[in-house]
Amino acid sequence: MAITFQEQKEKQKYLALIFLAAILVIFLIVYFSFLKKEKPLEIQEVIYQPPKIEINFELLKAPFLKELLPFEEIKPFEDKIGRENPFSPY
């Protein structure tokens, strides 16, 4: 199949349009990411009011809290720890 002169010219026209569109997209990306000057942020004085915290100490007088017991004391390990070669069979 022979490509005629008209088909080559039409193909080049489409390639030129694609090339121009790619250059336009690249220019827009560069402009909006690097060259565009952003307005400086205006500093506004913001006064933060933390919420008022109220602690209900009456909860600590509940009878179920008086029934709780502390943990038992854990004694330190007294035997020899580990083996000389942990990879040897028993």
In this predicted model, what pLDDT tens digit does every residue of 10-41 receive, in sequence order? 888 899 999 999 999 999 988 888 776 666 66
User: Two tokens at 35?
Assistant: 């060259």
Predicted model pTM: 0.36
E strands of the chain, at which residues?
none
Whole-angstrom distance, CA of residue 3 vs CA of residue 10? 11
Residue ranges making up the domain that contains 49: 8-36+44-66
Query: Into how many domains does the chain fold?
Result: 1
52 part of a folded domain: yes
Exposure letters 69-86 (e unless 16+ CB within 10 A, then b)? eeeeeeeeeeeeeeeeee
d(CA 58, CA 65): 12
In a domain, 29, yes or no: yes
Residue 25 lies in a domain: yes
> Model confidence over 40-74: pLDDT tens digits?
666 666 778 889 999 999 888 888 888 888 888 88
